[in-house]
Structure 1
């Protein structure tokens, strides 16, 4: 995959400004007596789902942090994260990391590899989307996303001491058709 030359990048995301991700609102329990003594349910006796509960239609996926932090449930529709105990999360559906201060989640959505960088989501399986990674020096790397050959994101970032680099992982997965087909499946 061909990247635009380095002089086209200015060291910042192109387009939308990065917005901090807000946590989801707190979940309130049902009021006593509101369900006629039958627990969480509707008037006709069907079980009602309260905010924060999972059902079979949930789009939330389990995300493993690369830095050893807390596991999370990630909702790709809203971009929200919710800390979960690792043992109860289920199969891993993606990984979480940072490019400097920008939160990034690499996951599979509706069968397609996807990368969320802050509020921006990229369908990495689209033929017009590409990624690049560069080792800048001993303590820094650079990650890029381009669409139709045009730079969209350019993140120079410090390399963490944990030995895990999300930019390098994404680049390596995207460069290997076998990994592209099998990761997060």
Structure 2
């Protein structure tokens, strides 16, 4: 009798049920993903409504400047923080804090026109200086997170044109922007 490592095996009769269970789980996952994609990106409830968000994984920070794509808190941050532009259900940009924007012909300048009625929680109006402040935080080499994020933002010049207009000047066109 040869002695060697013994590996656990499934009894022959268990293979078929195991394969069926795996196929059902895979089908359920595909169905859920399909339904989630059809539901769209916008998940903000009507005013006064209730909303429940499930998060898989620990919440490390809710600071939107430190969250990486795919982090568990990224979905929550999208719900509680605004940005100049958001993607709609079809993946197209639409104004959030910006009511409109213009892109220069060469793709190196983006001018954003802020909504005039946006206010902070204390009632103070949102201004171009607030956008400038946020970008300066992103440009800081001390910002926790990947250093390439700060390097990318350090190459972008941000100029407040007036209290409700801000311009981003890129050294060259950048599709990611």
TM-score, normalization by structure 2: 0.29
Would you tell me which structure has more strand in proportion to its own residues? 1
Higher share in helix: 2
The higher radius of gyration belongs to 2
Greater RCO between the two (CA within 8 Å, min separation 6)?
1
